[in-house]
Chain A
């Protein structure tokens, strides 16, 4: 593409010449806080980040303050009068349940809709949304696909609430262990079917075999990463160490159907080496110890550091940035709150230019955050929101394969991307103001004056103000460069 960038809000002249955080203007810092690290401003967002030198960074740090900030309690997620606890999610998440001719409700698709609505509602709460972005990062890192089976449809949301949100500011090893023991992940990667070849159930069986899927992805995606030095034997051995990590048969009539169950009859006996550690099969404790070992490997620290930087900052973070964040991960033994703090403490994380396009989902959420729909409105727009996100190719628990959605700009910033965002912004505003949803567009002067302060450029502000209707003003706002770039 042969164009010259006439103006770039934030830039560094070369990779060796990083501007310091302090050298950025308050407007630049606010824009970065909202769009690079957050989910976009709420309507009165101008006041959420002050004007003092360190306000933006401090505002983000303040969001990390309370670990419980990320939680969505079971009580807030209800589908057809059923509170979505673990027991209820796994119990109802079987697609074929009927009494006579009637489906037993809630159906998995109804559970999914309730979980999605609760997630959207949670996204609306914080001033900036840094913790929500971290939740989304980890949820994508530990990808599960709602389309795999009704069971995953019904339990994916619970995994995010009970594991990702619980540990997002805690220890990585706790999050890893929680995920690998959650029925949604076990089912998604077929570990419930994995049987040790010489285990009680496995020996001599033609149908019960070892399934390496989860074992492989733990190494390749979740911990040390594909470029680390592990072998096929390591994959097999890890798979053997987590044989028996299964779920109560979803076809059984038991009330515990779908819940995690350690089945020692499926677990492979023996001693197994995985990378630098050696563990005994036939013991859930030893499987957990293997996961702890992997969580603490330097390759894991490096892999996670790289992914965090690629997600938040740049397609190709510099080796120095990766080294620095790796070092924090290692020295804190995977303290995710400290790692998040180290990320925003890095000057380079702020001064890398805003060349990338915001991914569809966070961009979409930022439209919602400006509008702040009520709970009823969130439910009313849910179906349309789902369709829009699917058409943009970025939706909740929507990535089929375990590596999750990419952060590479070239995938998202395709030739049709801007035209699509322009059209979707209109579609979404029209959806929200339709009688079915009933959102009332505020006067545009309220929007531009209070939204991001000077973080919204003078040209964008004038353009939004100059539209002939409040509805068009809102639509234009959503595709200003400030809303599209990160």
Chain B
């Protein structure tokens, strides 16, 4: 059996170069592993009882996935304004570096096609074609001109701010907003299993019993049989952990239990593995598909955080974003493909980034900005709309950046309130210090009403 390492996925050289040439700060935050587009982290799913349905009194089994886009995604490339005034400002400031043949988002409010109105209307980057279909089907929405509250244009600060969910710099006793959410769910006896992919991100810190999965693409181990025997004889806990890790990996990869690598012969494994592996070699898509498979398990996790990076487009922004938007678009389609309709209809995926990018071009890319987009997708989403307060590009923050008119916490508060059915008082505990910040409304198709909320 071949011993070559499955780790290396070809990534376009110019993507690597451009990412490597990103701003100093982000270059330091990008790791090669992260360029391969993954990390995720889960817990002994098969051994966690389904607390939610027993005590919730409702039939719903919502899934919530947060996708962190690290590096500051250019919202103006992903969702450019289509009204002629703003488009001209953008095209001129970007010296023509605007998406070619963007898709026109038709958004409706009271039957009026906003894209035709003079003062609003948006395009979508042409490589985001799967998302476009979801948007038109009413399963995806966009929030524009959004950012976390601390607007320092520093990756370090702003991502920390986004993940912690506080108004100011987070304290040393670290928790993330989703970690605190899970703590509250446990307190109210509606605990949900959460999963992180790779090292636990700040967003999830504070949650107990996290499970973990890393898409590391190493398949059959050369020492598995002997290791398994050794653990069975001398260290039951390690045996237990190894077995569960393998089982989770099998589920995430979509392998049949029958061909789980535990106890399988090398050549049989390779044959089965090659047959079942998704034809796409893109690691990001594989990770997203794995996430979906695990979220689909009857006793599997219900909350997860996925991570992607390489968005800091200081150079060759056009080409880099073409590649990365296409890659992300394929990944989110892959995610949806792995879910049944029933589960899709109870799923919300929210994609966020720490800030946007400058309106004006600088060389072949853009500098750090402020306002950007957040994306929502899932059958539970009240989609087909571009939300937020769009003030246009005539008045910019510090004369250079799209302003952020929505504090990202309003989005997160709405999700845990409406999708996870958390009562207002509990939401305020999670997002301490944000009492005056009202949550966004109508993000979901069927928001829970207050009678069904849990404390």
Contact = CB atoms under 8 A, between A and B. Distances in A.
A422 B226 contact: no
24 contacts: A1-B240, A3-B236, A109-B28, A146-B28, A220-B172, A390-B31, A390-B32, A390-B34, A391-B31, A403-B174, A414-B212, A415-B241, A416-B41, A416-B211, A417-B212, A418-B242, A419-B246, A420-B214, A423-B216, A423-B221, A427-B5, A427-B7, A460-B230, A481-B230
A479 B24 contact: no
Interface in A210-232: 213, 217, 220-221, 226
A392 B199 CA distance: 7
Nearest to A458: B234
Nearest to A217: B172
Nearest to B233: A459
B340 interface: no
B47 interface: yes
Interface stretch (A148-156, A163-171, A277-285): A148-156
Contacts of A418: 238, 241-242, 245
B45 to A, nearest CB: 8
B42 interface: yes
Interface string B172-205: 1110000000000000000000000011101000
A480 B227 CA distance: 8
Interface string B220-245: 01111011011101111110111011
A95 interface: yes
Contact of A401 (B174, B198, B227): B174
Nearest to B39: A391
Contacts of A205: none
Contacts of A4: 236
A310 interface: no
Contact of B47 (A1, A7, A394, A475): A1
A472 B28 contact: no
B3 interface: yes
Contacts of A481: 230-231, 234-235, 238
Contacts of A401: 160, 170, 172, 174, 202
Contact of A415 (B31, B172, B211, B221): B211
Interface of A: 1-7, 95-96, 109, 145-150, 153, 213, 217, 220-221, 226, 355, 386-387, 390-394, 400-403, 410-411, 413-420, 422-423, 426-427, 430, 457, 459-460, 463, 466-467, 472, 475-476, 479-481, 484-485
B237 A5 contact: yes
Given A390-B31, A391-B198, A479 B25 contact: no
Contact of A411 (B156, B200, B218, B237): B200
A426 B220 CA distance: 11
B33 interface: yes
A147 B28 contact: yes
A226 B31 CA distance: 32
B417 interface: no
Determine the interface band of chain B, counting residues with CB < 8 A from chain A.
35 or more
A387 B31 contact: yes
Contacts of A145: 156
A387 B211 contact: no
Nearest to B240: A3
Which of B5, B42, B211 has its CB near the most chain A CB atoms (within 10 A)?
A: B5
A413 B44 CA distance: 12
Interface string B34-56: 10000001111001000000000
Interface of B: 3, 5, 7, 24-25, 27-29, 31-34, 41-44, 47, 156, 160, 169-170, 172-174, 198-200, 202, 208, 210-214, 216, 218, 221-224, 226-227, 229-231, 233-238, 240-242, 244-246, 248-249
A410 B212 CA distance: 12
A18 B170 CA distance: 40
Contacts of B249: 416, 419
Given A423-B221, A427-B218, A417 B241 contact: yes
B191 to A, nearest CB: 16
Contacts of A472: 222-223
A150 B33 contact: no
Contacts of A416: 41-42, 211-214, 245, 248-249
A417 B211 CA distance: 10
B174 A391 contact: no
B447 to A, nearest CB: 33
B32 to A, nearest CB: 5
Q: Which 6 A-B pairs have the closest CB atoms?
A: A393-B199, A419-B245, A147-B28, A95-B24, A414-B212, A416-B212
Which of A150, A390, A422, A467 has its CB near the most chain B CB atoms (within 10 A)?
A: A422
Contacts of A109: 27-28
A423 B208 CA distance: 25
A387 B234 contact: no
A9 to B, nearest CB: 9
A1 B245 contact: no
A299 to B, nearest CB: 16
B172 A403 contact: yes
A387 B218 contact: no
A422 B174 contact: no
Given A5-B236, A460-B234, A221 B223 contact: no
A96 B21 CA distance: 12
